[in-house]
Chain A
Amino acid sequence: MLARVFALAGFILVILSSLLGTPVGSRNFAIIIVWIAWWASLILIAVPLLGRGWCSICPIPMPGEWLQNGAVLGPINNKKGFGLNIRWPKKLRGIWLQNVSFTVLALFSIVVLTQPHITGLVLLGLILVAVIVSIIFERRAFCRYLCPVGGFIGLYSQVSPLELRVSDTSVCADHKDKTCYTGNQDGYGCPWGVFPGGMVKNTNCGLCFECLRTCPHENIAVSLRPIGSDLSQARGRKLDEAFKAFIMLGSAVVYSLVLIGPWGVVKDAAFAVGSFPWWLYALAFLLVVYVILPGIFYLAVRYFNHTIAVNREPARSFIDYSYTLIPLGLAAWVAFSLSFVFANFSYLWPVLSDPFGWGWNIFGTAGIAWTPYLSGLIPAAQSIVLILGLFWSIAVIRRISSERNTPILSPEFQPWRIWPLVSYSAFVTVGLLWLLVG
C-alpha cells in the first residue's frame, strides 16, 4: 500500500511538472523521472526480476479501481461500486490491442520522451482511457488488454525468477466457490481476470496478491524458480505474443540505430512528426518490426521444418520458436537502455530539488552539474548483456526444438539442424553489437 501511495504521489507530480513546468526536458521532473529513473528501474530491475511487479503499484488503474470498488480504502467488495461490469469482449482478448497501442506510442516516442507536455498528455490520456474502461468493463481490463506497457511487461515476465502459483490444483478442483476469482470478505476477486488454479505462466498475473488473501486453503504461494521457466511452457503460446516478441526486438533495433547512432538525419526524421521524412521513418519502423524481422524468421523456421522432414503447420512452428526471441529482446532493451540511462542519470538530482525548473532548490541539489556515470564501462556491459541474451536464446531454441522433435516424432531431426534459428539470433546480436558498441 505504501508503495502504491508513493507511486501515486510521484505520478501526480509528474503530470503537474509536465504540464506546468519548464519545456526543457533535462530540467523537468516528468522527463527525468519517467524516461530515466522509472524506465531504468523497470527494464533493468523490475521486469527481469519481478515480472509484472510494476503493475502491482502502477497508479494508472487506481481511479478506475476506486470507482469499481466504490471506495479507496473501504470495505472489501463494497456493493456501492460504480460501473457496468461488462465482461471484456471475447474477440478483443489477447494482446493484439496492446501490440497496436505500443506500436502507436513507439512511432511517436521520440517526441513523447523528449517533450514534457507530450509525456504529460500521454499519461493523462492513458489514465482517462483506464477510467472509462473501468466504468464500462469489469476488473482491470485496461491493464490486461490495452496498456501499451503491460503488453511487453507481461511477455517478459515469463523470464522472471518469481512466480505466483497454486500449490495443489486438486484443492482448487474441490473448492466450489473459487474465491480467488470471485472474491470474499478478505479481498477482491482477481483484478486481472485470471483463475490462479489454471495459471501456468506469469504473463497475466499482476502480482497484486488479492488471491493470497481470498484463498481459504492457503493454497497459493509466491515462489522463486529458475529464471526463464515459463519459456519452456508449451501451453498458451499464441500469435499475438509471438508478434510482441518481434515488436520489442524490432523497436530496440530501430531505436539503437536512430537514437544511439551518429546519423542526425534519421533523428530529425523521427522527431518531425507529420513531415514526409517522418512518414518514411514510420514506414521503415513498421517494415522492420512487422515484416522484415518476422519474415526472415518465418523463412528460417520453414527451412528448419523442411530439413527435418516435419509436416507441421508453419504458423504453429513460427509461434513456438518466436518465444526464443524473448531473452534476446530483453537483452536488447537492457543494452539499449544502458546507452542513455547512466549517461543522463545525474539529471535526477537537480529535478528532485527543482521539479518544475522554476529555480527552486528544495534539497540543495539544484546546482549539481550533469555528470555521465560509468561511461568507460557501459560498452563492455552492453556487450556482456547481448552475448548472455544470445546464449539464453540458443538454450531456449534447444529446449523448444527438443519438445517438438523427439527421435520418434522426427526421425530426420539432428541437433545441428537448428542452425537457421541459431543463426538468426546470432546475426541479430551482432547487428545490435555494431549499433550500440561499434
Chain B
Amino acid sequence: MIDLQMQWIDFPNKSSNVFHRQPLLWSVIGVFGLGIALFPIPLTPHRPVERNFRVDASTFEFTPAVLKVNQGDVVNIELNSADVVHGIYLDGYDIQVTAEPGQAAYLKFVADRSGTFRFRCSVSCGALHPFMVGKVKVGSDYLLMRGAGIALLALIAGVFGFQK
C-alpha cells in the first residue's frame, strides 16, 4: 500500500556544523544581490541610427551570425537563402521573415529592447534546423552582467559569509 507521509530528514545539528552565518554580512550581501538583479542601469546615450545587415542563410548557419546594434537603432536585415528556403525568427521581438533561394526578404524593426536575442531559422530546412541560430546584440547585455554579478556575489557569500 502506498503510504504518503511528510517526513523530514534532520539536518546535522549546529554543533557539528562549523559554518555559522554572519547576519550583518548576509544582509549586506542580500541588499547588493537585489540591487544587482533589479536596479535600473542608466543607459549610455547613443543617437539612433539606421543599420543595414545582409544575412546569408545556408544549412545550417547564418553569415554573419552575430549582429551588433545600439538600443534605439532601426535595424534592416536583408535575408538571402543560399540553398533552400530559410527564415529568421527573432526571439523576444516575435518577428519573422522567410526567404526563398534567389529572392531576398527584408525584416525591419526598432531595437528598443537591450540584451542578446537569438534568431533562429523559422522554416524546416534540414536535420539541424532547430539549432540554426544567430544572435542580435542590442546595446549591453544587462541580463548577462546581472547574472555574472550575482554569481560573483554568490562566490563572495559562499566564501566569506560564514565564520567558524
Contacts and interface: CB of A to CB of B under 8 A. Distances in A.
A437 B130 contact: no
Contacts of B11: 226, 232
Interface in B113-161: 115-116, 118, 120, 122, 124, 127-135, 141, 143-144, 146-148, 150-152, 154-155, 157-160
Contact of A260 (B17, B63, B131, B160): B131
A261 B133 contact: yes
Main secondary structure of the interface of A (DSSP, over half): helix
A3 to B, nearest CB: 14
A398 B127 contact: no
B152 A426 contact: yes
A212 B147 CA distance: 45
Contacts of B94: 372, 375-376
A74 interface: no
Interface in A182-235: 209, 212, 218, 221-226, 229, 232
B26 interface: no
Contact of B91 (A378, A415, A419): A378
B76 to A, nearest CB: 20
Given A375-B94, A433-B148, A27 B6 contact: no
B47 interface: no
Given A376-B94, A414-B164, A430-B151, A422 B158 contact: yes
A437 B116 contact: yes
B24 interface: no
Given A260-B131, A262-B62, A437-B144, A415 B124 contact: no
A418 B127 contact: no
Interface string A232-274: 1000000000000000000000000011111111011001000
A434 interface: yes
A403 B3 contact: no
A415 B163 contact: yes
Interface in A382-438: 383, 386-387, 390-391, 394, 397-399, 402-403, 405-407, 413-416, 418-419, 422-423, 426, 429-430, 433-434, 437-438
B147 A223 contact: no
B66 interface: yes
Contacts of B163: 415
A99 to B, nearest CB: 25
A103 interface: no
A24 interface: yes
A302 to B, nearest CB: 18
Contact of A387 (B131, B132, B147): B147
B60 A223 contact: no
Given A370-B122, A406-B18, A422 B155 contact: yes
A259 B164 CA distance: 44
A26 interface: yes
A202 B83 CA distance: 51
B96 to A, nearest CB: 9
Interface string B46-63: 000000000000001111
B9 interface: yes
A340 interface: yes
A376 B124 CA distance: 22
A402 B131 contact: no
B106 interface: no
Contact of B159 (A224, A343, A391, A419): A419
Interface in A358-384: 370, 372, 375-376, 378-380, 383
A135 interface: no
A50 to B, nearest CB: 13
B3 A218 contact: yes
Interface string A139-181: 0000000000000000000000000000000000000000000
Contacts of A407: 18, 164
B162 A398 contact: yes
A115 interface: yes
Contacts of A344: 130
B131 A415 contact: no
Interface of B: 1-9, 11-12, 16-19, 60-63, 65-66, 89, 91-92, 94, 115-116, 118, 120, 122, 124, 127-135, 141, 143-144, 146-148, 150-152, 154-155, 157-160, 162-164
Given A222-B4, A438-B144, 15 more contacts: A25-B130, A26-B130, A114-B130, A224-B5, A224-B7, A232-B11, A264-B60, A271-B128, A380-B143, A397-B158, A398-B19, A413-B164, A416-B159, A430-B147, A430-B148
18 contacts: A25-B124, A26-B129, A114-B127, A218-B1, A221-B7, A223-B7, A225-B9, A226-B8, A226-B9, A262-B65, A262-B134, A264-B132, A372-B94, A379-B115, A402-B19, A407-B18, A413-B164, A438-B144
